[in-house]
Chains A and B, each alone.
Chain A
């Protein structure tokens, strides 16, 4: 499955504007193969969330087209029961703002909502829900309503509710934001395991160290909402000029005694430079 060549998702010249006025994406072309793992990076407001929502079939391109398994995803095609079922079952989306995502009375209902729809039987559904809660350490929140949780807890519940459906494609919008370091590093391990298991993983993030850890392919969105580069993690992360241009890192001028030197700041580069500094 991992080496299937036909593309799973394809975006052709996709553009999107909010309220017909605020530009969010312009002329984006992207292909995703089964088993790929792609990080969409870009500064705040560059259109990462919008792109992921289009790939999740929640918004439809204003111009351009989006295909899933060769079928165009549109308001019309998603009204077809067979395609809807296939698409929603295969594609899971974790919202950036988990507050938005949670809509069931309690955490347990939330996690069980997806599996129950899949008609895999209530027993199996509950088993999945418990396993996922155990994995993310949220069993004790089981009976709480979602609006009585902290930000990080909400994020975990949101991730759990999507994982319980076991989708083939996972779209994660800023997955590590607002999580404590331990959960963050667990999440990275989980993502690596899912990639290993052949899942297609697409994340939107501006955390370059996450990109580095996952070693995924990277698609860079510029501040004027265009895809300016698609490449391997190491190629993109070492392209300082590009990262500076799209405002993902910034130059900082320090004064060290007499000498003034320029220093480029970013998670990734900072991480890399540490051993050199010590020397």
Chain B
């Protein structure tokens, strides 16, 4: 059969020298960006699955943590003053420290989202055009007040005390809810969360959807990363920007299809191992003293925050 081996394979390889091409590679922004995003997602997943480190919150039963999350988010939305919100924030911060999480990593995200969804969205309401009240920081003066339809634009435009309060409240609420959620997410592996939700009577169909989404996103980011690696192993020269764009565009559909097939395989594997549309888990381990103690402590702190 050896005679079937094409002669080019047995010929000595094309000699190559470093001087064949000059200059530095420019890596196309699009491809690099997508790969960076995928690896950030994968890194996130890895962190999440590793969340069984031995901090304080990691040891607590997932059911306690989920109830804690719901209860505290309720409290955060009910509070009407900045000071109690600040106390809650300090409380969550201390819990985060006790759980030995990386403060920088968590707060980078919390502050970014807090800024986008709290501060920026609420900012316009700080002006007396929207919220009436005492102007504390005048910004512009119009020759006379304007009235059109239901709007009234006063002659002096500025930021009001009530407005500042509103913006601060919304930002604090967003920041608090996010720190709470990240605290739970980073201390509880994904499957524990699903289990806890199941115990708390969340419908199975909903849990299946979350689980498959979780798997899908993971497979998607892994496929993107794999494809990047595979392409890199065969990239010999710099692609022109057009080639790079075409490559990315052509591959997006391909990636989705490939990932969907993989996800279907995962689902088939689940069915093959006796999965039906009800989710069954082996029983939760018993609540220990630590779990009960923490539950009571968190509950009492919640009541305390409700009344200050």
Contact = CB atoms under 8 A, between A and B. Distances in A.
Interface stretch (A165-173, A209-217, A240-248, A252-260): A165-173
A266 interface: no
A101 B227 CA distance: 7
A17 to B, nearest CB: 12
B226 A85 contact: no
Chain A interface residue number, banded: 35 or more
Interface string A53-65: 1001110000000
Contact of A86 (B8, B17, B46): B17
A134 B233 CA distance: 24
B16 interface: yes
Nearest to A186: B1
B45 to A, nearest CB: 10
B12 A1 contact: yes
Interface residues of B, number: 45
Contact of A165 (B6, B23, B47, B234): B234
Given A19-B43, A90-B16, A161 B258 contact: no
A86 B9 contact: no
Interface string A88-118: 1110110100001111010000000110011
B117 interface: no
A84 interface: yes
A105 B22 contact: no
B14 A118 contact: yes
A19 to B, nearest CB: 4
Q: Which of A92, A103, A147, A197 has the most CB of B within 10 A?
A: A103
Contacts of B250: 105
Contacts of A100: 226-227, 229-230
Nearest to B6: A131
Interface in A98-151: 100-103, 105, 113-114, 117-120, 128, 131-132, 134-135, 145, 147
A168 B258 contact: no
B1 A21 contact: no
Interface stretch (A6-14, A39-47, A188-196, A224-232): A188-196
B1 A103 contact: no
B4 interface: yes
Interface in A1-34: 1, 19, 21
Interface string B17-31: 111111111010000
Given A86-B18, A166-B9, A135 B254 contact: no
Contacts of A270: none
A189 B251 contact: no
A186 B3 CA distance: 11
A95 B233 CA distance: 10
A131 B6 CA distance: 6
A142 B257 CA distance: 19
B235 interface: yes
B282 interface: no
A193 B233 contact: no
A28 B27 CA distance: 30
Given A82-B21, A105-B254, A21 B233 contact: no
B235 to A, nearest CB: 6
A134 B27 CA distance: 35
A90 B13 contact: yes
Contacts of B50: 19, 21
Contacts of A85: 16, 20-21, 236-237
Interface of B: 1-2, 4-6, 8-14, 16-25, 27, 43, 46-47, 50, 226-227, 229-238, 250-251, 254, 257-258, 261
Closest 3 pairs (CB-CB, A-B)? A131-B6, A81-B21, A100-B226
30 contacts: A19-B43, A56-B233, A78-B25, A79-B25, A80-B18, A80-B25, A81-B24, A81-B238, A82-B21, A84-B25, A85-B21, A89-B14, A89-B16, A89-B236, A95-B230, A100-B229, A101-B230, A102-B230, A103-B251, A103-B254, A105-B254, A117-B237, A132-B6, A147-B261, A162-B234, A163-B9, A189-B2, A193-B2, A193-B10, A197-B10
Given A103-B227, A103-B251, A117-B234, 6 more contacts: A84-B21, A88-B233, A103-B254, A114-B234, A117-B237, A118-B14
